[in-house]
Amino acid sequence: MRISTSMMFDTNTQNLQQLQTGLYRLQNQMSTGRRILTPADDPVSAAQAVVIGQKKAVNSQFVDNQGNAASQLASLESTLRTASDLISNVMVRAAEADNGNISDTSRLALAAEITQDFEQLLGIANSTDTMGQHVFAGFRGETQPFAVSGSPGSRSIAYVGDDGTRQLQVDTGRVMDVSAAGSDVFMRIPEGNGKFAFSAGATNTGTGLLGASSMISGYNDSTYKLTFTAPGVYTLDVTTNGVPAAPVTGLTYTPGSDIVLGPVGQQVRINLSGTPATGDTFTVEPAANQDIFTTLDSMIKALNASVSTSPATQAAFKNQITQIRLNLDQAYDHLITAQTSIGARRLELENLSVAGADRDLQYQSDLSKLQDLDYTQAISDMANHKMVLEAAQLSFKQVSQMTLFNYL
C-alpha cells in the first residue's frame, strides 16, 4: 500500500484531534461533575435520567402544594379556634343567665356582652386571608359571605357565599380541601340534642319546665305533641312521615318524671317538671338546622326581655335559655368537629411531606448514580489520555521530520 506524505499528515492530524476531543470531554466532565454531558454519551442512562427528573419535578410540586395547604389549614384552624373559644365564653354566660336568682339588670348586662360577641363572631365569619380572599365564602372569595339585617334580638342572617371548598392536589391521587364553606361551618347546625328538639309552646302560661332529653333506642323522626287538657292530664298527638295517628288522651303527668315516647326500638326520653297550665303544649320534633348567629340573637332577645314579673314569664325564660344552651352546645361541638377534621388533614400533610422528602432524596440518589462523575476513574482516564496524546504528538513530530535530505 502506497502511503503518501499528505495521507500521513491527515491521518495523524485526525488521530490527534480525536485524542484532544477525548481529553476535552474529560475536562468538561470534571469541571461539571457530570458523566453524561449529552445523550450521546450514554443514551440509555440519559433516557432514564429524563424520566426520573420528571418524577422529581412532579414530587417537588407536590411538596410545594403540601406546604401551601399546611399554611392555609393552619390559618383556618386558628380562625375556627377563635370562634369556638368565643362560643365557649357565650356558653358560660348562658349558664349564668340560667341562674334563677339573676336580676333583669344583670341579664341586660349579659345581653350587651353577647351583642358584642355576635359582632365579633360576624367579623370572624367574614374574615379574609393573606390574599384578601374571604375565608368562608366558598369559591366566591371576593364576596363578603355573611350579611346581617335588623336590630339586636330580631336580626336575620343571609349567607351569600357558596358551598364550594378550595382544594390542592398534595400527592398522586390525593386532592385535599384547604378551606371550609361558611354554610357548613356556621349555618347547618342541628338544634336540640342533634337528633330532635324538645320545646315549649310560645304561648304557654303555666310553669312547665323543659328537662333533659335523649334517645333510648333510636328515633324515627316522628313529631310528638303534648297538649295539657287539665292539670296533670295531657293528650299525645303523634305524626310519623307526615301521617298523624289517632290522639292518645287522658295521659297522666307526674312533675319531674321521665316521659318515654315512641315504639319499642325507636324510643326517646324527655323530662318535664313544674305545673303546665291547661292549653300548654310541649313538642318533640326532628332537629332542624339553625345558624349560630340566630342562636346568639335569640339569646340576646331572651336576655333583654323582662323576666322577673311572674312565675310564668320566669318559666318561659327558663325554657328559652334551656333550648339556647342546647343549641350552643351543638354549635360548639360543630366547630370542634371542624377543627378535628382540619387537624387530621394537617397530620396527613406532615406524613405526606416526610414521604415526599424521602422520595426526593431517592430520586436525587438515582440521578446521581446515572449522571454523576466518578472522579477517581476520570482522573485516571485523564492521565491516560494525556500520556497517549503526548506520545502521539511526539511520534508525529518525529515522523513528520523524516526526510532523505538529512542523510545527504
**What mean pLDDT, rounded, does the chain reach?**
86
Write down the CATH superfamily of domain 34-191+289-372.
f41 fragment of flagellin, N-terminal domain (1.20.1330.10)
Which residues belong to CATH 1.20.1330.10 in the chain? 34-191+289-372
The pLDDT > 90 percentage for the chain reads 64
In this prediction, residue 16 has a pLDDT band, given cuts at 50, 70 and 90, of: low
pLDDT tens by residue, 311-335: 999 999 999 999 999 999 999 999 9
Highest-pLDDT range among 31-45, 291-305, 372-386: 291-305
In this prediction, residue 181 has a pLDDT band, given cuts at 50, 70 and 90, of: very high
Torsion over CA of 156, 162, 163 and 169, rounded to 10 degrees? -150
pLDDT tens by residue, 26-82: 666 666 656 666 665 667 776 777 788 888 889 899 999 999 999 999 999 999 999
pLDDT tens by residue, 217-230: 889 999 999 999 99
